[in-house]
């Protein structure tokens, strides 16, 4: 491949992975924006969504379906994982976080870390389910192959640059979700309630806004975004594992901070930035340096622009 073709190929790969990271980062930034909690369990909720998608694939025998029916199968996995992850995230808020909202931020943080460990272990047990798609459950901790439901053929024919249906699927799923989320937050009654609670929960309650309900819906939407992202990730990368939530969660959290945590456009910008930096670093530098570059960039952002690229400085509430 010519140098410019290599660059364009890495650009495509970086943008595809960046959009997946951005979708996960939106869940982080929504929750933080409304109750200032870093939900460390979010990445593991994303992981469990991928495990549910693989379970649905195995139960319904989607590998044997025709290409046309596989599109419907992908839709079933998207909706199923979104509802599952949204419900799980709502449950975590209802059981673990709601009673601690008036406690110290450290208590909430420790609770979130505990929920993360619980979800990780649920993924480990799930990997031992005796199903063919889980390799019979004989190696619960081993990565699982996710069948290629979407063809990997090059849409550009004999060109050295590859754009596959999987790349198109990433765009088709993630972009409308991002646009829909922005519309929800900025143009709907629920969005106005979310912004009111984020600005001042006490004042919002005095105005008749059901604060706990709004926060619960925010958790559900953030989890649903993680569910959509889990299916897209699995279809694009074709490998999942019970520890994938840590890596994806760290990338998404970094993206949210780089873009400006609490800012929806910032989460998208941060996700695309992380995806591009990882792709270019893997290509032009040794892969072992990629994490150093990504988190070095995070440190520089925190030093010179603590609020992030698109974030705004918020006064601490006391």
Spatial CA neighbour of 43 closest among 137, 119, 142: 119
Spell out the domain ranges in the chain. Answer: 23-129+168-304
How many whole angstroms from its chain centre is CA 217?
A: 17
Tell me if 257 sits within 8 A of 298, measured CB to CB: yes
Find the angle CA(11)-CA(166)-CA(88) to the nearest 5 degrees: 105
What are the residues facing 145 on neighbouring strands?
Answer: 239
Sign of CA dihedral 290, 293, 294, 296: positive
> Could you tell me where the DSSP H helices lie in the chain?
3-35, 42-60, 67-92, 105-126, 165-187, 189-199, 201-206, 211-237, 244-259, 264-284, 290-304
Sign of CA dihedral 136, 48, 174, 283: negative
Instruction: Summarize pLDDT for 208-252 with one digit per residue, the tens.
Output: 999 999 999 999 999 999 999 999 999 999 999 999 999 899 999
Predicted local distance difference test score (pLDDT) of residue 312: 67
> Which letter does DSSP use for residue 181 in this model?
H
User: Rg (Cα) of the chain, in Å, rounded?
Assistant: 20
CA dihedral 95→101→103→109, nearest 10 degrees, is: 70
Instruction: Summarize pLDDT for 4-26 with one digit per residue, the tens.
Output: 888 999 999 999 999 999 999 99
How many whole angstroms from its chain centre is CA 45?
A: 9
318 pLDDT exceeds 70?
no
What is the distance between the alpha carbons of residues 35 and 33, in angstroms, rounded to a whole number?
6
pLDDT band at 306 (very low <50, low <70, confident <90, very high): confident
What is the distance between the alpha carbons of residues 188 and 194, in angstroms, rounded to a whole number?
10
- For 162, phi then psi, to 5°, come to -105, 125
More confident residue, 2 or 167: 167
CA dihedral 7→10→16→20, nearest 10 degrees, is: -130
Predicted local distance difference test score (pLDDT) of residue 252: 93
Instruction: Summarize pLDDT for 138-181 with one digit per residue, the tens.
Output: 888 999 999 988 888 888 888 888 899 999 999 999 999 999 99
Residue/partner pairs of 66-75 with CB below 8 Å, 24 or more apart: 67/151, 70/149, 70/150, 73/149, 74/149, 74/150, 74/169, 74/231, 74/235
Spatial CA neighbour of 57 closest among 125, 146, 128, 140: 146
Predicted local distance difference test score (pLDDT) of residue 313: 58
Instruction: Summarize pLDDT for 81-132 with one digit per residue, the tens.
Output: 999 999 999 999 999 999 888 888 888 889 999 999 999 999 999 999 999 9
What pTM was estimated for this model as a whole? 0.92
DSSP 216-244: HHHHHHHHHHHHHHHHHHHHHH-EE-TTH
Question: Which has the minimum average pLDDT: 28-32, 134-138, 176-180, 308-312?
Answer: 308-312
Instruction: Summarize pLDDT for 48-71 with one digit per residue, the tens.
Output: 999 999 999 999 999 889 888 999
């Amino acid at each position: 491949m010519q140098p410019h073709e290599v660059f364009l190929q890495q650009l495509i790969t970086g943008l595809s992975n960046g959009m997946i990271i951005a979708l996960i980062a939106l869940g982080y930034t929504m929750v933080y924006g409304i109750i200032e909690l870093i939900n460390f369990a979010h990445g593991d909720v994303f992981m469990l969504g991928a495990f549910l998608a693989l379970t649905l694939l195995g139960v319904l025998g989607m590998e044997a379906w025709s290409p046309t029916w596989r599109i419907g199968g992908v839709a079933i996995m998207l909706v199923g994982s979104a509802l599952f992850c949204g419900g799980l995230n709502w449950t975590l808020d209802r059981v673990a976080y709601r009673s601690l909202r008036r406690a110290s931020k450290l208590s909430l943080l420790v609770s979130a870390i505990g929920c993360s460990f619980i979800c990780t272990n649920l993924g480990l047990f799930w990997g031992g389910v005796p199903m063919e798609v889980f390799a019979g459950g004989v190696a619960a901790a081993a990565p699982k192959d996710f069948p290629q439901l979407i063809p990997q053929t090059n849409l550009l024919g004999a060109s050295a640059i590859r754009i596959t249906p999987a790349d198109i699927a990433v765009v088709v799923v993630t972009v409308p979700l991002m646009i829909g989320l922005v519309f929800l937050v900025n143009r709907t009654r629920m969005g106005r309630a979310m912004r009111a609670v984020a600005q001042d929960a006490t004042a919002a309650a005095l105005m008749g806004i059901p604060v706990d309900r709004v926060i619960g819906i925010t958790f559900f939407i953030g989890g649903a975004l993680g569910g959509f992202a889990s299916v897209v990730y699995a279809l694009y990368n074709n490998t999942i594992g019970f520890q994938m939530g840590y890596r994806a969660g760290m990338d998404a959290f970094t993206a949210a901070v780089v873009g400006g945590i609490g800012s929806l456009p910032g989460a998208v910008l941060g996700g695309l930035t992380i995806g591009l930096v990882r792709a270019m670093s893997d290509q032009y530098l040794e892969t072992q340096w990629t994490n150093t570059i990504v988190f070095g960039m995070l440190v520089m952002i925190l030093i010179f622009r603590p609020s992030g690229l698109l974030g705004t400085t918020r006064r601490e509430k006391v």
